[in-house]
Structure formats: structure tokens, C-alpha cells
């Protein structure tokens, strides 16, 4: 009964709501209601309010109520379907017309281009692309950005997006492989040079990072190839430029010779700078992680020292004196004998196993050499015998470095040597230590090389060591999977060592890199290092036009290959006559503008482990096999705040 009376009470209100709802619908805007025609806006609002509450109750039959019923009568007008916007809205038409107009520069008499149809509005973000297609056939790509995932692309700032750097196809179609490695034409006497120089072409272009590797005649050959006659003939160039410049660069040169050499150097630069554009690695260094390069002077073991001294005493002095006095065919024979002696000394510095056959046969210079070794020493002849790294000073340092890297870091290592026989010893060492390794030398096919390199660069791969022959893989390989590299023996050509050591410090490297150059103290390897420094100083003066490059070595010093300085911690440092070190302590740091491309004299000089930056090498010093270390970094780390 109570429910029935309440229902009768609300019937008039229900009927009024249904009628008023039928009169309302959505119009041009969500807040506008359709009003009865002929009533102004003020009257409409009064009409809606008064009609809703004051209209008299209308009694209807049940049939009439069913006929007036509509499901939408009880819906809010704001939930009903929107009616389309009418085209008579002047404001909307005005905005639409403004946004559809092409952009016009507010300049007098400017009409723009015919295809300029960009409309005003928010600037859309677009991805950066290379100026030229890097995947076009024959494209010469100078820089390839590191691969990133789609997720990293979304997180990366669009302004810092890296793209390929591609040489203009017009130029790259002209550049041939020999032109991209222009230093291959450093010898004007070889057949390739003679064949190419006879080609009749309107212009010649060479691209090289190391135009001077050994001497100034190589520089002459490259300049002469692109500009015939610019420097005269080879004999004229040698007489007019090379001899005065080299005499002026000698450490024993007189003041007059130094002055004349500087004058000839400036004259040469004025001539060649008209056809040379020089760009150094400093342009890319800031985009790479820090590289710490370390020259580690390793002590010879007692057995190595005894054999080395005997060889020098019995053979080397005699060969050196005969070389200076020999003439004609005899000079050729002596030269071949000297080269063989140099090779024996270099192998002995690596490990006695490499010259065991000479010692076993009592070859010239190795008489009774086996008496300095244990009785059961069989060298490399006994494949079942365990490998003995303790017989070599450099191998003692290497084993310590590898063990420390393996146990204290997650880094991978690249081992490089000039001899495949040394790679064989690396393999025996890895097998005895259970190190997972891969090896690349001249016997591996190009197709297999790519697979091996890709697998090693995979961070999840188990390979810990990559063994590399510098002759087979010193150029072109990208081994960014490792960030530590050991250069086990030096080369006469500094460019070869630089190329080999650059395998890990390349685009895509994420970690700081550590380079270890192992040198036997006081031996022929230090003489090779000094020759490298002499050649790099010459290149710095002529190619990079650096001034105040120190003169550390005389030509006489560099000829003293067959000598052994047994009491020194570093013969190279002794030659510098360093003023930054007092009583075997470095008291003055390197210059602020120096880096690892500078002369060794401005590097850090360490008589002990205290001032070393590399934790691994600092720990390896405890093996008592290291006598001295030169080290420097590529650049200061750029720290950014988040």
C-alpha cells in the first residue's frame, strides 16, 4: 500500500520528465539543447524550468502511457549520440582554412617553390638518415653507427641519433681499393706502382692514415703518384730534402745541421700542403671509451739471459762489424746472416722453445746453450711434456695478466704475435689453464673468419681469448668483444703495431680498453721500440707538422742492435735522459695536452706499481718479472651528470 501511494505521487513528475526529455537532443555543441522555435534564449530557460515543476498532472490511460514510452526518455542528454558538426560554423571554417594554407616566408617578392606544400602546425619528429645510401653497391662508408635495439631507439634522444657517414658516390666510384689504402703504393719500384702510374687519367686520389711508415722516400712515392714531378725525381728529393731533414733530426746533429733541416722541412711542407688534406684520429677519440696503453718492460729469466749474452758475444758483434765493411755479394750474404740472427734473438725473447732446435743442434751462436736449462728440458720436441711458461719473462707476465683478468673481471682478451709459432705456445698455455680460445691466422678462410669474429664478439659466448697473427688479421678486424689486448712482440714498422693494437678500440666498444705491449728489457726489442719512436717522430714533423719533437736517438744508437744492457730497468728510458724522473721516481707528471699518441718521453714513467692506473697490471707486478712501465691514456674521460 505504501509503495502504491508513492507511485501515484510520482506519476505527474514522471510524465513531465518524459515530455521534457522528448523535446531535448544534442546539437552543435555538447552543452547546447534544442529549444522550441520562436522562443528566445531567456524564455527557453524559464520555459524549461517552470514546465518541469509546474505543469498540471495529466491523467492518461495505461494504453496511452505505453504509447508515449521511449527507452531514451530516461537517458541524460549528454550520453546521447553526438550530431555531426554543421558546416555553418564560421569559426571552425576559419581555423581550418588557416591550417591548410602553405607556409609563406614574410619577405618581399618571395613566391616560394611549387612543391612547398607544408602546412603550419606542430613539428613532427623525423628520423635522421645518411646523406648517401650506405648499402649501395660500391659505397665507401667512413663511419658505421653501433647497432641498437628498437627499445634503445625509443629511449634515445633524436638529436643524438648516429647515422652512417658515406662518401659522395661520385667520389667513391672513382676510389679503388688501392686508393683507400694508399700506403700500399709506398714503394715506387713495385709492379703495382709501375702499372698504375702509366694510366692516363684526369685526376688521382689516395686515402691513407699512415703516409710515412719507415722513411721519407715512402712519402715521396705517394706524392709523386698523385702529382708527377711536384718533388722532382727520387734522387733529387733525397738530395734536396731527405738527407738534410734526417741529419737535422739526429740527436747528435750540430746546431747548423738542425737549422738547415728545419728550413728544408718547412720548404717541403709548403710544397706538399697544396695537395694534402690531413685529418687525425682526434676527431673520433671523443666518441670512444678511454684507452690506456702500457709498454711493459719484462725481465729475462736466468736461462734466457745466459743464452742471450752468449749469442751476442759469439755471433752478433762479429756480424755487425762485417756488415759495416762488406761490399757486393758478400754484403748480401752478411745481410741475410744478420737478418737470421735478429730473428733468433726476437724468438729467444719470446720463449726458448722457439729456438730449441738451434740449441739442440749447437748452431752457430747457440753452442752449449742447453746447459743453461734443466736436464729434462725438451722444448717443443716433446708434445706430451707440459708447457713451461716460467722459462720466459714475458710469458710469466702474460700468465699473471690472464689469470687476474679471468678471476677479477668479465673482460675478454686478444693475444697478438708476429709468429705463428708463438701462437702455438699460446694454445698450449690455454689448454693447460682450461681457457676457452679461438685462433685466427693465415690458414683460415675469409668466410670462416667472419663467423669466428661474430661469435667472439657475442657477449654470451664462452671464448675468453682470441689469438691473432698480426700479418693475417692486423688490419680490418673489429674485435670489440674484447677490451684488453696483449701485443706480445714488436714490429719494425710502427704502423703495423698501431693497426694491430686498434682491433679492440673501435666503433661500438663500450668498455675502457687496456693495451699491453710486452718488451724484453735491454734487448733487441727495446731497440725496435726506439726505432719505432724515431719513425713516429719523423712522421709527426712531416705529416702532422708538430713542432718541438724531441731528438732522442742518433743513427749510431739505432744501429746497436746486437747489444745487451743487463743492468738497466729500461734502455729506452735511459736514452731519453728524462728530467721528469729523479732517483727512480717520477716527480713531474706528463703535460696536460699529451696523450698516448705522443712521444714516450712525455708518458708516465713507473719504476714500481704505485702510480699504475690498471689494477690488473698493478697486481701482476708482484711476479717480480716487470722492471719498468711506460703508460698513458687516449683522452680524459668525459663525465656527464644525469
**pLDDT tens-digit profile of 580-605?**
999 999 999 999 888 888 889 899 99
Q: Is the pLDDT of residue 27 over 50?
A: no
Number of domains composing the chain: 4
Specify if 332 maps to a domain. yes
79, 101, 127: which is the final residue of a domain?
Answer: 79
Average per-residue pLDDT in the chain?
Answer: 78
Verify that 251 and 355 share a domain, yes or no: no
Kindly state the cell numbers that stand for 195. 702499372
CATH label of the domain that carries residue 468: 3.40.50.300
182, 207 contact by CB (below 8 A): yes
Verify that 349 and 421 share a domain, yes or no: no
Verify that 264 and 362 share a domain, yes or no: no
| Rounded CA separation 236/243 (Å) | 11
Q: Is the pLDDT of residue 266 over 80?
A: yes
Verify that 240 and 325 share a domain, yes or no: no
| Rounded CA separation 422/488 (Å) | 9
The per-residue pLDDT for 277 is 83
Q: Which of 212-221, 332-341, 451-460 has the lowest mean pLDDT?
A: 332-341
Q: Identify the CA nearest to 525 among candidates 612, 418, 382, 441.
A: 418
Task: Using alpha carbons, list the distances in angstroms from residue 632 to 190, 382, 500.
Answer: 38, 42, 18
Verify that 14 and 63 share a domain, yes or no: yes
Specify if 145 maps to a domain. no
Contacts of 57 (CB under 8 A, 6+ apart): 11, 12, 15
Specify if 189 maps to a domain. yes
| Rounded CA separation 531/555 (Å) | 10
CATH label of the domain that carries residue 310: 1.20.120.850
Verify that 309 and 345 share a domain, yes or no: yes
CATH label of the domain that carries residue 268: 3.40.50.10810
DSSP H helices in 474-547? 494-501, 524-542
Task: Using alpha carbons, list the distances in angstroms from residue 104 to 92, 108, 115, 126, 457.
Answer: 22, 11, 12, 22, 53
Verify that 346 and 395 share a domain, yes or no: no
Give the rounded percent of residues in the chain with a pLDDT score beyond 70: 69
Q: Is the pLDDT of residue 243 over 80?
A: yes
Greatest CA separation for the chain: 141
More confident residue, 44 or 311: 311
pLDDT in tens, 49-104: 444 444 444 455 555 555 555 666 666 655 555 555 555 566 667 666 666 656 55
Q: Is the pLDDT of residue 31 over 50?
A: no
Q: Three-class SS of residue 629?
A: strand
Q: Which domain holds residue 339?
A: 303-372
50, 79, 108: which is the final residue of a domain?
Answer: 79
The per-residue pLDDT for 571 is 92
Quick count: other Cβ atoms within 10 Å of Cβ 68?
A: 13
Task: Using alpha carbons, list the distances in angstroms from residue 272 to 26, 215, 219, 423.
Answer: 84, 16, 10, 43
Kindly state the cell numbers that stand for 415. 693475444
DSSP E strand boundaries for 348-499:
413-417, 437-440, 465-469, 484-487
Specify if 144 maps to a domain. no
pTM (2 d.p.): 0.68
What does 467-489 look like in DSSP terms, one character per residue? EEEHHHHSSS---TT--EEEE-S
Specify if 119 maps to a domain. no
Beta-ladder partners of 515: 293, 485
32, 58, 79: which is the final residue of a domain?
Answer: 79
Verify that 474 and 516 share a domain, yes or no: yes
Name the residue with cell 694454445: 427
Verify that 295 and 315 share a domain, yes or no: no
Task: Using alpha carbons, list the distances in angstroms from residue 599 to 237, 252, 533, 534, 595.
Answer: 27, 19, 7, 9, 9
Verify that 480 and 619 share a domain, yes or no: yes
Mean pLDDT computed over 4-11: 51
Verify that 393 and 501 share a domain, yes or no: yes
Beta-ladder partners of 440: 468
Verify that 314 and 420 share a domain, yes or no: no
Specify if 436 maps to a domain. yes
The per-residue pLDDT for 64 is 52
322, 300 contact by CB (below 8 A): no
Specify if 273 maps to a domain. yes
Q: Is the pLDDT of residue 432 over 60?
A: yes
Specify if 69 maps to a domain. yes
Please give the span between the terminal C-alpha atoms of the chain, in angstroms, as a whole number: 75
| Rounded CA separation 490/535 (Å) | 14
35, 45 contact by CB (below 8 A): no
495, 186 contact by CB (below 8 A): no
Amino acid at each position: 500500500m505504501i509503495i502504491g501511494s508513492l507511485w501515484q505521487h510520482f506519476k505527474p513528475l514522471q510524465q513531465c520528465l518524459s515530455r521534457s526529455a522528448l523535446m531535448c537532443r544534442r546539437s552543435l555543441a555538447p552543452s547546447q539543447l534544442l529549444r522550441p522555435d520562436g522562443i528566445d534564449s531567456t524564455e527557453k530557460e524559464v520555459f524549461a524550468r517552470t514546465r518541469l515543476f509546474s505543469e498540471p498532472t495529466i491523467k492518461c490511460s495505461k494504453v496511452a502511457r505505453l504509447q508515449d514510452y521511449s527507452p531514451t526518455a530516461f537517458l541524460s542528454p549528454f550520453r546521447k549520440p553526438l550530431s555531426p558538426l554543421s558546416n555553418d560554423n564560421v569559426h571552425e571554417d576559419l581555423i581550418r582554412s588557416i591550417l591548410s594554407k602553405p607556409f609563406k616566408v614574410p619577405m618581399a617578392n618571395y613566391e616560394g617553390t611549387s612543391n612547398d606544400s607544408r602546412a603550419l602546425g606542430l613539428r613532427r619528429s623525423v628520423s635522421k638518415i645518411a646523406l648517401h645510401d650506405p648499402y649501395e653497391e660500391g659505397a665507401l662508408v667512413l663511419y658505421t653507427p653501433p647497432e641498437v635495439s628498437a627499445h634503445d631507439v625509443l629511449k634515445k634522444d633524436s638529436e643524438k641519433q648516429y647515422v652512417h657517414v658515406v662518401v659522395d658516390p661520385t667520389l667513391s666510384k672513382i676510389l679503388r681499393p688501392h686508393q683507400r689504402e694508399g700506403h700500399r703504393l709506398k714503394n715506387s719500384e713495385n709492379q703495382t706502382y709501375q702499372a698504375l702510374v702509366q694510366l692516363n687519367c684526369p685526376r688521382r686520389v689516395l686515402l691513407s692514415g699512415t703516409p710515412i711508415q719507415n722513411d721519407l722516400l715512402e712519402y715521396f712515392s705517394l706524392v709523386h703518384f698523385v702529382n708527377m714531378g711536384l718533388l722532382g725525381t727520387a734522387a733529387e728529393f733525397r738530395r734536396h730534402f731527405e738527407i738534410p731533414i734526417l741529419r737535422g733530426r739526429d740527436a747528435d746533429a750540430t746546431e747548423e745541421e738542425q737549422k738547415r733541416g728545419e728550413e728544408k722541412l718547412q720548404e717541403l711542407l709548403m710544397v706538399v700542403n697544396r695537395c694534402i688534406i690531413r685529418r687525425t684520429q682526434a676527431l673520433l677519440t671523443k666518441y670512444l671509451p678511454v684507452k690506456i696503453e702500457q709498454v711493459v718492460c719484462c725481465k729475462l729469466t736466468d736461462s734466457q739471459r745466459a743464452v742471450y749474452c752468449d749469442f751476442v758475444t759469439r755471433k752478433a758483434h762479429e756480424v755487425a762489424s762485417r756488415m759495416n765493411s762488406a761490399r757486393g755479394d758478400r754484403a748480401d750474404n752478411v745481410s741475410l746472416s744478420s737478418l737470421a740472427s735478429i730473428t733468433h734473438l726476437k724468438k729467444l725473447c719470446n720463449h726458448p722453445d722457439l729456438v730449441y732446435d738451434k740449441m739442440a743442434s749447437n748452431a752457430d751462436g747457440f753452442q752449449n746453450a742447453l746447459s743453461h736449462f734443466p736436464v729434462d728440458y725438451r722444448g717443443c720436441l716433446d708434445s706430451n711434456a707440459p708447457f713451461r711458461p716460467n722459462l720466459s719473462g714475458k710469458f710469466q707476465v702474460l700468465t699473471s695478466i690472464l689469470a687476474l683478468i679471468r678471476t677479477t673481471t668479465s673482460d675478454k682478451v686478444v693475444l697478438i704475435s708476429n709468429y705463428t709459432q708463438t701462437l702455438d705456445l699460446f694454445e698450449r698455455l690455454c689448454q693447460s689453464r682450461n681457457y676457452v680460445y679461438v685462433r685466427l691466422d693465415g690458414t683460415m678462410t675469409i668466410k670462416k673468419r667472419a663467423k669466428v669474429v661474430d661469435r667472439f664478439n657475442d657477449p654470451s659466448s664462452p671464448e675468453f681469448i682470441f689469438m691473432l697473427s698480426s700479418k693475417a688479421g692486423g688490419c680490418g678486424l673489429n674485435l670489440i668483444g674484447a677490451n684488453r689486448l696483449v701485443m706480445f712482440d714488436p714490429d719494425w714498422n710502427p704502423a703495423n703495431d698501431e693497426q694491430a693494437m686498434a682491433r679492440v678500440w673501435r666503433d661500438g666498444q663500450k668498455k675502457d680498453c687496456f693495451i699491453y705491449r710486452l718488451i724484453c728489457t735491454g734487448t733487441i726489442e727495446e731497440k725496435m721500440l726506439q726505432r719505432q719512436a724515431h719513425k713516429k717522430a719523423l712522421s709527426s714533423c712531416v705529416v702532422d707538422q708538430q713542432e718541438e719533437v724531441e731528438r732522442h736517438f742518433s743513427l749510431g744508437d739505432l744501429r746497436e742492435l746486437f747489444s745487451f744492457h743487463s743492468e738497466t730497468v729500461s734502455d729506452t728510458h735511459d736514452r731519453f735522459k728524462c728530467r721528469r724522473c729523479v732517483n727512480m721516481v717520477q716527480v713531474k707528471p706528463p703535460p696536460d695536452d699529451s696523450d698516448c699518441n705522443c712521444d714516450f718521453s712525455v708518458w708516465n714513467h713507473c719504476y714500481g706499481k704505485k702510480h699504475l692506473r690498471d689494477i690488473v697490471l698493478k697486481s701482476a707486478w708482484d711476479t717480480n718479472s716487470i722492471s719498468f712501465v711506460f703508460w698513458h691514456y687516449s683522452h680524459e674521460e668525459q663525465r656527464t651528470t644525469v
